[in-house]
């Protein structure tokens, strides 16, 4: 039963991850086009982008993740939890952009999804696997801790080492990614999937983390040195790709699902 649930959980979490990072990417692209090609003021472009894409994400999560029949979707219940975060996060993104640049949208989206998940708790209907879905809400809270932990380690290491002490950006980036992944995978193994941390699993985590961090850094170097992208765009792109591939690696080599 536990193995069945763990496999089911890993699939659902991957679908949520896929939807989350697709949401961030589309909002960033849509905001750029609305501002640069349609001359819409940045704050209005942010609100339009947040509202449309977060609404689509809410529908996606209801239908794909929670397996809600389309006919059971309620438009008012979907609009209310999307409208408030869209207004709030478009303002936050607008005022944060001068200080953190393109990172303002990912930060705003992640915060907004927290509010949306809290506001739409009443949307989930009865499904064919009620016990699994009951556990999912608790597991999602645990999964968020590991996700935020990854970004806390990554951002703080890069900020302190690169910004304050002028260490080489590539070295700080790879170390930040490495430590963040090791924390995330170890936390998920123990707390999320409730497996024991053995010497073998710890070794696997370290090896896969090294491979992922090197790959991420290679993407950043390629994008910055050969394609002419800024460090922010290169970093965001490499992390997004990491977050789409990392769960698949974890599922096969670490969790053995």
Q: How many distinct structural domains can be found in the chain? A: 2
Q: What DSSP line would sit under 229-248, residue for residue?
A: --HHHHHHHHHHHHHHHHHH
Cα separation, 69 vs 63, in Å, equals 6
One domain, residues 139 and 19: no
Mark whether 193 and 243 lie in a shared domain. yes
Instruction: Check whether residue 1 and residue 116 sit in a common domain.
Output: yes
Residues 154 and 183 placed together within one structural domain of the fold: yes
Residues 136 and 65 in one domain: no
- Same domain (yes/no): 121, 158: no
Residue 114 is inside which H or E element, if any?
Answer: helix 104-119
DSSP codes joined into one string, 26-63 = HHHHHHHHHHHTS---HHHHHHHHHHHHHHHHHHHIII
Same-domain check for residues 77 and 37: yes
Assess whether 101 and 134 both reside in one domain: no
Domain stops at, among 80, 106, 128:
128
Among 128, 162, 177, residue at a domain's last position: 128
Query: DSSP readout, 152-217?
Result: HHHHHHHIIIIIIT---HHHHHHHHHHHHHHHHHHHIIIIIS-----HHHHHHHHHHHHHHHHHHH
Q: What is the pLDDT along the chain (257 residues), one digit of tens a residue?
A: 567 899 999 999 999 999 999 998 998 899 999 999 999 998 899 899 989 998 999 899 889 988 888 888 878 777 877 887 788 778 877 787 777 776 777 777 777 766 666 666 555 454 445 578 888 888 988 998 999 899 999 989 988 888 788 899 999 999 999 999 999 999 999 999 999 999 999 999 999 999 999 999 999 999 999 999 998 899 999 999 999 999 999 999 999 98
Cβ-Cβ contacts under 8 Å for 180 (sequence gap 6 or more)? 149, 150, 151, 153, 154, 157
The answer on 161 and 105 residing in a single domain is no
pTM: 0.87
One domain for residues 121 and 51? yes
Q: Which domain range does residue 57 map to?
A: 1-128
Let me know whether 157 and 251 are in one domain. Answer: yes
Instruction: Tell me, yes or no, whether 229 and 140 share the same domain.
Output: yes
**Where a domain ends, among 128, 156, 185?**
128
């Amino acid at each position: 039963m536990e193995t069945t649930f763990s496999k089911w959980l890993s699939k659902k979490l991957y679908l949520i991850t896929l939807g989350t990072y697709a949401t961030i990417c589309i909002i960033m692209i849509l905001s750029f086009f609305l501002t640069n090609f349609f001359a819409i003021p940045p704050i209005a472009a942010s609100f339009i982008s947040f509202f449309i894409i977060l609404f689509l994400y809410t529908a996606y999560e209801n239908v794909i993740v929670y397996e809600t029949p389309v006919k059971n979707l309620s438009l008012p219940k979907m609009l209310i939890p999307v409208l408030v975060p869209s207004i709030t996060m478009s303002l936050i993104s607008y005022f944060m952009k001068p200080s953190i640049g393109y990172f303002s949208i990912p930060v705003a989206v992640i915060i907004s999804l927290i509010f949306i998940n809290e506001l739409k708790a009443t949307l989930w209907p009865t499904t064919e696997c009620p016990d699994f879905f009951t556990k999912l809400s608790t597991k999602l809270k645990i999964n968020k801790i590991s996700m935020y932990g990854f970004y806390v380690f990554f951002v703080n290491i890069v900020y302190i080492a690169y910004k304050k002490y002028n260490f080489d950006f590539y070295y700080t980036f790879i170390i930040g990614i490495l430590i963040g992944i090791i924390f995330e995978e170890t936390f998920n193994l123990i707390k999320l999937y409730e497996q024991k941390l053995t010497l073998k699993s710890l070794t696997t985590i370290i090896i896969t983390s090294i491979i992922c961090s090197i790959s991420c850094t290679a993407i950043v170097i390629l994008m910055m040195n050969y394609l002419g992208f800024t460090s922010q765009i290169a970093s965001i792109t490499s992390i997004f790709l990491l977050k789409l591939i990392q769960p698949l690696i974890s599922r096969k080599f670490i969790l053995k699902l």
